[in-house]
Structure 1
């Protein structure tokens, strides 16, 4: 049972990937890079709002024929919101990148429920390859990118969140924009042996959500149902920093990385004219595997 629940949790959890495994050198013109990343999202606010007390409250209220509005209902709403905003979960993605022109590459990433499109522009460093280097070993590179991700956010189908969803009938959608600024120092010419990279990241998240409960009554009443919360629109920014190390030789690389974000999620409207203010840090350790597919160039 535990294994089945864990498998369902992994399968239904999805979010825009925020682990940064790229270097400052973009994919050379005409070449491909393919790979995958396994990361773990650790948000402090979500952990604090989805603990054992909330789990017990969800189990208790889900067994009642008529649920009276109370602070416990607010806690369940906050738990649902924090999960779709910044879930505690492992995350995996697969990607392909192509060097469209000198200093510009484009890519697509599938994060098991989230579709991501992005481009990176290299403003610093040479544009050669290990076979045809354009500069000396140990060069510096810099690039800036734009990433767009879209997904239908949902709670995982495990008993804890199933109870919340049956009570609140929660729905949400989100889009994310991410702007990474990446610098790297090459190991060998044109990152032949790899590179160490670091930089800063800005993200902007656009969220739509609503609650449509059918079995929650106003406090002290057994006849007056609590009104639904129509679709709400919120957006918030995240500010991050990251570092990664790319290690390998010419065609295959392992990339361990770490990113940290701070976000003031803002104020969210809840049922019964209540609100919740959310903010916190997110830590994302990750490990990636990347393959370079060179092409012949004159």
Structure 2
């Protein structure tokens, strides 16, 4: 992880950009180990941030002045600056930096199963959660074994898919006519959640913690337009590139649900480590990425419905 004098300035710049056009698949874990009771709904909004060390470090190596200078040229030759730009674009696609916002709805379909839909910064997300530990009632209709401070446990599966227009939201957008970078990704997230009830059947909320695994499949490519290479006295156009890769992210989380019966505040922090792997880049170059991602969040949640 590399820091410089401009590190925090760059981070603030990206965060402000993403406020206007965020595009980060949600990987924060905000649920407790207790699923939504059958026939009941939960709805909420969540605000957070995706702070990833690798893309921040890569983007910090590029200056806007250099990008402007390259973009003004009729023909561009592959050099260290172009190689740095391609590394930065791919790093940002692997783990976009910026604020996140989502709203969601969950529904209890069975005594130990609920499903959810989330719209997160332009990304459609679907998930399901199975509760294997603890009672299954509500504060108004307590389940068997429900006591103050009961433990709950569950496992979930979340899917999110997105296509990238990340470059259009960075100062690197001026290089798009030259590099024509595209990326598509699919994320599968599996959280293992344990929580302790505050009150009976989480009447006053819960404290939760656990481990989480995320698997990402990514397809990316460059179709250079005005990019060339000098080989002796000859000039050749740089070939296009299209590749697929995948990587796993391992993390842990702590969250809380604080309120009473129907309305709660949800603070959370999720931390991942990922070795993104080795990626082919233009002109037979390659680069290996790895780093930490910090995802703080806070939200508000309401429960409603008659149940069954």
TM-score by length of 1: 0.93
Q: Which residue of 2 aligns with 1:62?
A: 71
* Equivalent residue for 1:212, pick from 200, 205, 223: 223
Q: Contact (CA 8 Å) 2:279, 2:288: kept in 1 or not?
A: yes
CA distance in structure 2 between the aligned counterparts of 1:57 and 1:210, rounded to whole angstroms = 23
Structure 2: gaps spanning 5 or more residues: 1-13
- 1:131-150 aligned at under 5 Å gives the runs 131-134=140-143, 135-150=146-161
Q: Contact (CA 8 Å) 1:54, 1:76: kept in 2 or not?
A: no
103-112 vs 215-224, greater mean Cα deviation: 215-224
Give the Å deviation of 1:84: 1.2
Give the Å deviation of 1:180: 0.3
Give the Å deviation of 1:94: 0.8
1:228 to 2:245 alignment:
no
1:282 to 2:293 alignment:
yes
Q: Contact (CA 8 Å) 2:125, 2:158: kept in 1 or not?
A: yes
Q: Number of paired residues? A: 292
CA distance in structure 1 between the aligned counterparts of 2:124 and 2:22, rounded to whole angstroms = 13
Give the Å deviation of 1:217: 0.7
49-58 vs 179-188, greater mean Cα deviation: 49-58
1:252 to 2:263 alignment:
yes
- 1:95-110 aligned at under 5 Å gives the runs 95-110=104-119
Give the Å deviation of 1:167: 2.2
Q: Which residue of 2 aligns with 1:262?
A: 273
1:152 to 2:163 alignment:
yes
Give the Å deviation of 1:156: 4.8
2:19 is paired with a residue whose SS is: helix
- 1:32-111 aligned at under 5 Å gives the runs 32-51=41-60, 53-111=62-120
What is the CA deviation profile of residues 77-116 of structure 1, one whole-angstrom value per residue up to 9, with x for unaligned ones?
Answer: 1111111111110011111000000100001111122111
Give the Å deviation of 1:228: 1.1
CA distance in structure 2 between the aligned counterparts of 1:159 and 1:88, rounded to whole angstroms = 11
What is the CA deviation profile of residues 218-264 of structure 1, one whole-angstrom value per residue up to 9, with x for unaligned ones?
Answer: 135674211111x2110000000000111011111000100100000
TM-score by length of 2: 0.91
Q: Which residue of 2 aligns with 1:163?
A: 174
Q: Contact (CA 8 Å) 2:167, 2:176: kept in 1 or not?
A: no
1:14 to 2:23 alignment:
yes
Q: Which residue of 1 aligns with 2:7?
A: none
* Equivalent residue for 1:172, pick from 183, 193, 198: 183
CA distance in structure 1 between the aligned counterparts of 2:262 and 2:25, rounded to whole angstroms = 27
RMSD: 1.7
Give the Å deviation of 1:53: 3.1
1:237 to 2:255 alignment:
no
